[in-house]
Structure 1
Amino acid sequence: MNSHPSVVVQAAALGSHSVVPLLAPAVITPLRPVRAGRVVVAGGGRDLLWSPQQIAAALGARTSGQLVHELLHGGARGADRAIGRAARQLGWPVGVLPADWRRHGRAAGPIRNRELLELAVSRAVALTSAAAPVAVLVVAFPGGAGTASLVQQARRMAASSPVPIAVAQISQAPAVP
């Protein structure tokens, strides 16, 4: 009987299995580097008139140079779409989760906000490791009741979240050269 440990390796293309003895201690190298970072949820009012440079500067300042795994927004006209464009300019992956106004009526905005936060938390949990924790950052640009709902729900959810949730409220556009 072989006293060396072995591992079962599945050949991806063939679907077959082979037992491969490990003659030396196994060193497992991740396929992609594990990095701490953030999943960002961002929103603001429909009448936000900031330039893409101002939005990108505000997002960059709030993330403090940390890796952004994804930015999620609600896809509404105004701030949401402008935030999505700025995030793409920064090279960040962007996800959009629009409100279902036909199905939920006036409750659609708060329901969408909750779903955005739940999605962000689940993505952060999936990306988190002991060596590289991933947090959720909610960035609230100037807005109205919908933005206030996002902030309120994020603060409430933070108390029971498996990952940290921080809220950054932005009141003024940053000066951009």
Structure 2
Amino acid sequence: MIVAGGGRDLAWPVERIASALLQRSGVRAVHLLLHGGARGADQAIGRAAHQLGWRVQSLAAEWRRFGRCAGPIRNRQLLEQALIEAQAHTSPSFSASVLVIAFPGGSGTASLVQQARRCSSRSPVPFAVMEVSAPFSPEPLAA
């Protein structure tokens, strides 16, 4: 199971996101990728996962219902759903895990990472968090 998210301003090509997802997932069998459905990174992550042939589920934040708390609530729901799915795919011969992949973003992405790290300490299934950094591009030196 993968939970992935990032900022609304992330403008990476879908191919680059797909490459990052493949790199981070390694040899894991991906049964499902969950994302928050927001514009920007979340929607691009969903498209990339579809291109990879992965099953994708989007869980949108309920802004009208929860106001400013909607983002953190949605992040918790994503993590809880991933844990439920991982437990459902665990058998005596196979142990499913949860991988959280965080693309560059702002406070919402930071909230997802923070909640994921807290979940990992009490999770009944293996749980990992990986952050994808934007490559460093130095400013050209003035002549």
TM range (shorter): over 0.9
Residue 33 of structure 2 is aligned with which of 71, 86, 89?
71
Higher strand share: 1
Determine the structure 2 residue equivalent to 1:12. Answer: none
TM-score, length of structure 1 as denominator length = 0.75
Deviation at 1:134, TM superposition (A): 0.4
Determine the structure 2 residue equivalent to 1:35. Answer: none
In the alignment, is residue 105 of structure 1 matched against residue 67 of structure 2?
Answer: yes
Residue 83 of structure 1 is aligned with which of 45, 62, 82?
45
Q: Determine the C-alpha separation between the residues in 1 that align with 2:130 and 2:98.
A: 11
Larger Rg: 1
Deviation at 1:130, TM superposition (A): 1.9
Q: Determine the C-alpha separation between the residues in 2 that align with 1:129 and 1:143.
A: 35
Determine the structure 2 residue equivalent to 1:10. Answer: none
Deviation at 1:65, TM superposition (A): 3.0
1:13-24 paired onto structure 2 within 5 Å: none
Deviation at 1:57, TM superposition (A): 0.3
CA deviation profile, 1:125-172 (whole Å, cap 9, x unmatched)? 010012110000000000000000000000001111111110000012
Determine the structure 2 residue equivalent to 1:122. Answer: 84
RMSD: 0.7
Amino acid in the other structure paired with 2:95: P
Determine the structure 2 residue equivalent to 1:22. Answer: none
CA deviation profile, 1:86-119 (whole Å, cap 9, x unmatched)? 0000000000100000000000000000000000
Amino acid in the other structure paired with 2:130: A
Determine the structure 2 residue equivalent to 1:135. Answer: 97
Q: Determine the C-alpha separation between the residues in 1 that align with 2:43 and 2:125.
A: 27
Question: Where do 4+ consecutive residues of structure 1 move more than 6 Å?
Answer: none
Instruction: Percent identity, please.
Output: 63
Determine the structure 2 residue equivalent to 1:62. Answer: 24
Highest RCO, 1 vs 2 (Cα 8 Å, sep ≥ 6): 2
Determine the structure 1 residue equivalent to 2:139. Answer: none
Amino acid in the other structure paired with 1:78: G
TM-score, length of structure 2 as denominator length = 0.93
Q: Determine the C-alpha separation between the residues in 1 that align with 2:70 and 2:100.
A: 19
Question: SS at 1:46's partner residue?
Answer: coil
Kindly tell me the number of residue pairs found equivalent between the two proteins.
Answer: 135
Question: SS at 1:130's partner residue?
Answer: coil
In the alignment, is residue 52 of structure 1 matched against residue 14 of structure 2?
Answer: yes
Higher helix share: 2
